[in-house]
């Protein structure tokens, strides 16, 4: 293949969705596309045709494709082995795994994720957020904690280009499970955001474990201390608060720089509120800009 | 109605199931029946006919009926206001609420539940377990902690006939939600009990909050440190361990007597294992005997 004619394409290919960007020679975004063709929608042997359709849509023929996220998981296109956190984030560029697409003129690489085992021996894994952290660092983000809200919300502590630790929380997934099924779902028909209920949930999260406080949420309604339409926001506050307190309680945690939040505007604003309530400084990053910066780093394009 | 001819009937009428006992004049159980006609199965105006059918099945005409559990909730037959924990458990006999059944010769009373607000201002509620505690005390249970495993597992501390505090955990509900839906459910097809995986979950529960450890359970599988068929037992251990640690961490908690576990044999044995692993002394009670003792107390029959 003629590498010099290849167009650079970066894809964040997650569980439910994917977003793709075409970069010109100077590294500027010239086209982008996002859809719901996450790995759950792609059959085992369907990745080549799914990618081909995506490239068609992006009007790209020969391409140098870099992908991150769950596409590199066991349930994705091909498993890219995890790196250990002793590998600096700049390693990602060289650690990308080649995948044979069979498409003429298309080179395809997957960014590996990271695995980490905490001092208690508990493992944790990440696929996709490492690329966002790389991008934020390329944009001169300070050392300290990075936060990626989502279905599986992740907190990452970075010092001198290396992750020191990270921790994932099932926040978004538990919120969805409890909103759609179970005893709280019955009073959660109304889902509009109620800031004071969210704040009450965040504050309550300090007092005890989530599995107890989730029942107290029900008790607040049953004893007429909270209107049913506040339940969704309160539960969201409880879950997000549980994350923040888990991090703050770790003996090694010192928040010396603002927590850097990289996520969708809705989730990010919710987390920013919670962090403010708990007196944790924070700043929000625009995820598209961060991913763009990551792609420039992965394609070795100077800013 | 002729009270003296009335047969004593006690019903534990819960959310999903109910169990009913007929007592003779000396307070012995002469007949019993259990079915799945919990309050979820009974329509708003359907309680009288549901009770009438139950009495038919128990071969009872005139009856003095005492009911406890969710039948007294807002979504049950009629709401019996909660007592505060300053009311001794022996108050229950006089605090039962009369319900008009309209059935000739049938007197109907509902045992009220309890509400409690903890020192942080968080409310908690109970309906049904108070009757079990009353029964255990009638059987000379020692003071200290009582544990009622279930969908909403409850820990109750009793001193001198009064509840001092109680706390509910969404343990069973979260286990069901996560087993049937969500990312862990996909690897939880096999549900047989794996004692070593349960023990590992109980031990892990000490290190951090549940919403983080639930994700680590997934990471253990993804990183090949735990076979998928261990997930269900591990998650059960995590959830039950979270309960025990929440109680043990409370500054006022001192376990001076065995925790008294009142529940179904399967759940009770699981909790007994967890308590043993965490070096908490415990004893199990047979729930039918305990409820029988409670009924004798509520009907004012001396043992």
CATH of the domain at A107: 3.30.420.300
List per-block mean pLDDT (blocks of 10 residues) for chain B, which spans 303 residues: 73 94 94 94 93 96 96 95 97 97 95 96 97 96 94 96 97 95 84 92 95 97 94 97 94 87 95 97 96 96 76
Task: Look at residue B252 in the predicted model and tell me its pLDDT.
Answer: 83
Measured between beta carbons, the chain B residues lying within 8 angstroms of A152 are 215
Distance (Å) from the C-alpha of residue A291 to the closest C-alpha of chain B? 25
Tell me how far apart the alpha carbons of residues B18 and B34 are, in angstroms, rounded to a whole number: 6
Domain identity same for B164 and B84: no
Weakly modelled stretches of chain A, pLDDT under 50: 1-3
Distance (Å) from the C-alpha of residue B116 to the closest C-alpha of chain A? 10
Measured between beta carbons, the chain A residues lying within 8 angstroms of B112 are none
Domain identity same for A146 and A278: yes
Residue B278 belongs to some domain of the structure: yes
Cβ separation A211–B170 shorter than 8 A: yes
Q: Is A299 exposed, middle or buried (0-12, 13-18, 19+ CB in 10 A)?
A: middle
Task: Look at residue B257 in the predicted model and tell me its pLDDT.
Answer: 87
B171-230 residues touching A, CB cutoff 8 A:
171, 173-174, 176-178, 180-183, 204, 207-216, 219-220, 222-223, 225
DSSP letter at A204 equals: H
Tell me how far apart the alpha carbons of residues B172 and B267 are, in angstroms, rounded to a whole number: 10
Tell me how far apart the alpha carbons of residues A101 and A97 are, in angstroms, rounded to a whole number: 12
SS3 B234: helix
Residue B175 belongs to some domain of the structure: yes
Between the alpha carbon of residue B148 and those of residues B11, B132, B282, the distances in Å are 18, 9, 12
Domain identity same for A248 and A145: yes
Residue numbers of the domain that contains B88:
1-114
Residue A72 belongs to some domain of the structure: yes
Count of A-B CB contacts under 8 Å: 135
Task: Name the CA dihedral angle for B202, B206, B209, B214, rounded to a multiple of 10 degrees.
Answer: -30
CA-based angle A82:A83:A86, to the nearest 5? 155
pLDDT tens-place string over residues A92-143: 999 999 999 999 999 999 999 999 999 999 999 999 999 999 999 999 888 9
How many separate domains does chain A show? 2
Distance (Å) from the C-alpha of residue A127 to the closest C-alpha of chain B? 12
Residue A121 belongs to some domain of the structure: no
Residue A10 belongs to some domain of the structure: yes
Domain identity same for B172 and B225: yes
Tell me how far apart the alpha carbons of residues B228 and B102 are, in angstroms, rounded to a whole number: 55
Of B114, B141, B173, the domain-final residue? B114
Task: Look at residue B1 in the predicted model and tell me its pLDDT.
Answer: 41
Facing residues of B129 across strands? none
Residue A153 belongs to some domain of the structure: yes
Alpha carbon A300 to chain centroid distance?
23
Nearest to A242 among B82, B207, B209 (CB): B209
DSSP letter at B224 equals: T
A68-87 residues touching B, CB cutoff 8 A:
73-74, 82
Best residue of B122, B127, B274 to probe chain A, by most A CBs closer than 10 Å = B122
Measured between beta carbons, the chain A residues lying within 8 angstroms of B174 are 174, 211, 214
Domain identity same for B168 and B231: yes
Query: Do A199 and A237 meet the contact criterion of CB atoms below 8 Å apart?
Result: yes
Residue A256, phi then psi, degrees to nearest 5: -100, -15
Residue of A nearest to B73 (CA): A222
Domain identity same for B140 and B250: yes
Residue A274 belongs to some domain of the structure: yes
Between the alpha carbon of residue B200 and those of residues A267, B151, B278, the distances in Å are 33, 22, 12
Residue B235 belongs to some domain of the structure: yes
With a CB cutoff of 8 Å and minimum separation 6, the contacts of B298 are: B10, B66, B92, B93, B96, B111, B131, B134
With a CB cutoff of 8 Å and minimum separation 6, the contacts of B103 are: B48, B51, B52, B55
């Amino acid at each position: 293949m003629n590498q010099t004619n290849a167009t650079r394409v970066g894809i964040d290919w997650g569980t439910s969705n994917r977003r793709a960007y075409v970069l010109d020679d100077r590294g500027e975004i010239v086209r982008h596309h996002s859809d719901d063709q996450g790995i759950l929608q792609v059959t085992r042997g369907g990745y080549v045709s799914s990618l081909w359709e995506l490239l068609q849509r992006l009007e790209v023929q020969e391409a140098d494709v870099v992908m991150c996220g769950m596409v590199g998981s066991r349930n994705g296109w091909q498993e890219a082995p995890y790196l250990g956190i002793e590998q600096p984030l700049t390693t990602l560029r060289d650690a990308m795994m080649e995948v044979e697409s069979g498409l003429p003129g298309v080179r395809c690489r997957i960014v590996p994720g990271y695995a980490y085992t905490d001092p208690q021996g508990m493992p944790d894994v990440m696929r996709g957020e490492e690329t966002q952290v790389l991008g934020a660092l390329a944009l001169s983000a300070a050392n300290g904690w990075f936060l990626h809200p989502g279905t599986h919300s992740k907190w990452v502590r970075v010092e001198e280009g290396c992750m020191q630790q990270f921790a994932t929380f099932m926040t978004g997934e538990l919120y969805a499970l409890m909103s759609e099924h179970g005893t709280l779902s019955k009073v959660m028909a109304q889902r509009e955001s109620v800031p004071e209920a969210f704040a009450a949930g965040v504050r309550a999260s300090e007092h005890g474990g989530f599995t107890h406080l989730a029942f107290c949420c029900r008790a607040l309604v049953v004893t007429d201390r909270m209107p049913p339409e506040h339940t969704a926001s309160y539960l969201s506050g409880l879950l997000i608060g549980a994350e923040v307190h888990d991090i703050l309680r770790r003996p090694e945690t010192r928040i010396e720089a603002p927590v850097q939040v990289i996520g969708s505007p809705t989730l990010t604003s919710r987390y920013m509120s919670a962090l403010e309530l708990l007196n944790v400084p924070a700043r929000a990053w625009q995820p598209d800009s961060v991913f763009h910066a990551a792609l420039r780093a992965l394609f070795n394009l100077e800013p």
